[in-house]
Amino acid sequence: MNDTELDFTKGDGLIPVIVQDSASLRVLMLGYMNAEALTATRTTGLVTFYSRSKQRLWQKGESSGNVLRVASIKTDCDKDTLLIMAAPQGPTCHT
């Protein structure tokens, strides 16, 4: 996948990202990325989102340590949504 082909325009610079457990195939969460968050995710190998409430990049697990290690990144046919297969390092949801 070429990142320049992604369509960030439909969501005001953000695209939805579905994260799925690469081992169990359970859907873990939905978040949003801008181009900078995608670059950070590719660079570190850890899922990084753009937090709409904090208005900044947010690495999943940055405070808890429960990070999501990237196994693969795929796009849908419209190139406006991502599916990230990841290995969770601890619980994804904090209840």
Domain extent listing, the chain: 25-94
- Give the Cα separation of 88 and 14 in Å (integer): 23
Over residues 26-75, the pLDDT tens digits come to 999 999 999 999 999 999 999 999 999 999 999 998 888 899 999 999 99
Paired tokens of 35: 């181009």
CATH of domain 25-94: 3.10.20.810
pLDDT at residue number 95: 61
Q: 3-state SS of the chain?
A: CCHHHCCCCCCCCCEEEEEEECCCCCEEEEEEECHHHHHHHHHHCECEEEECCCCEEEECCCCCCCCEEEEEEEECCCCCCEEEEEEECCCCCCC
